[in-house]
Amino acid sequence: MPNLSFKLKKGLEETGRLVRYHELKKISKKIPSIILTGHHCKDYTESIFLHLTRGGGKKSFYTLPPFDGERFLPLVFLEDQELNELYQFVSANMRIFEDESNGDPIYKRNRIRMELIPILEREKWNFFKTYWNFHDRSQLNLQFDGFSNQSQSYAPHLFRIPHDTWVSLNLSAKKELIDFHLKLMGMYPLYKSGFENFHLQSEGERAFLENKNCYLYKSKFGDLFIIDKKSPAFKKAISNREGQILVIEWNQNRFKINDPDMKYSLGSWHHGQKIQIRSGNKEISECMRENGVPFFLRSYIPILYFENEPIQILFSLFSKNEKNYPKRIYLER
């Protein structure tokens, strides 16, 4: 463990936690299950101050969600008095094994627990209420449903919701729409604060939200994208030849073109590149933007090259409903 801690440039305590969760995650994949931990609302308050002392921002208050798709925290549902009663019962009836490092003041978390938490208790700090001020209890059933969907053989990796649909809905309906599609992807709903921040951004030029499992993206007049981080769209396109046919594969779609002279090839977008269209040349980045492709996916979109020059953006591999651009290939002679 000390060697791994040195290699990861993390403390022994954090390294041990990473190793434990790594092993538990391997078990939960072999045997369909979720991981339960003993974190409670006092632990949450410790974590808040720990993150803040390290320069954390508002995200510090949303740490330790009741269920993150893998780990469930049952004790956060106990109010402060109930938690104390449970601890007294367990202490009187069971042997508790205490990690010897928990009393070592060399660790900042221990100093917070031993010095700050007692002050908050004397000031009647409500740990339970503080926790639920920043977490949403109503998400639990949907989150568990989402977890069960993960075991299904297929779940979509990407949804594209039309701009007209988005602007026609009120605030609560917009969140329901996003949560419904996340559920179809086997994910849990957005927290209220995250959704409200995304919605506020959507009133400007661009809205972007990233969480543990997915990305949400919407340009001002463009469609809303919900994209799983495990989507095949985040893998590089590949090409091969079937006789005189060049085959390009990406995002579980295929493109074929007759290429007896082997002059076509697969490429990708680079800053400043232009592509030939009927009226002249056009920035590829502008083509991507007009087609509504999220900025974080643009470098993955396959481009057909002819003699090392980009000639067609293969939007059809991003979505079968899309047309490649330009529709007609213009070749320099």
Residue 233, pLDDT > 80, answer yes
- What's the pLDDT tens digit per position in 272-292? 889 988 888 899 999 998 888
- Mean pLDDT for the chain overall: 85
Where is mean pLDDT largest: 49-58, 135-144, 239-248? 239-248
Residue 315, pLDDT > 90, answer yes
Residue 156, pLDDT > 90, answer no
Confidence bin at 146 (pLDDT 50/70/90):
very low
- pTM above 0.75? no
- What's the pLDDT tens digit per position in 119-143? 999 999 999 999 998 887 655 554 4
Q: Report pLDDT for 56.
A: 84
Q: Report pLDDT for 150.
A: 44
Q: Report pLDDT for 72.
A: 86
Residue 152, pLDDT > 50, answer no
- Mean pLDDT value of segment 149-166: 74
- What's the pLDDT tens digit per position in 17-40? 778 877 887 787 777 777 888 899
Q: Report pLDDT for 269.
A: 87
Confidence bin at 195 (pLDDT 50/70/90):
very high
Contact between residue 209 and residue 194 where contact means Cβ atoms under 8 Å apart: yes
> CB-side exposure of 293: number of CA atoms within 13 Å?
29
Among the ranges given (9-23, 42-56, 185-199), the one the predictor scored with the smallest mean pLDDT? 9-23
pLDDT over 70 for what percent of the chain? 90
> CB-side exposure of 329: number of CA atoms within 13 Å?
14
Confidence bin at 185 (pLDDT 50/70/90):
confident
Higher pLDDT, 51 or 103: 51
- Long-range contacts formed by 250-255: CB under 8 A, 24+ apart: 250/300, 250/302, 250/314, 250/317, 251/317, 251/318, 253/316, 253/317, 253/320, 254/317, 255/302, 255/304, 255/314, 255/316, 255/317, 255/324
- Mean pLDDT value of segment 196-217: 92
- Long-range contacts formed by 204-211: CB under 8 A, 24+ apart: none
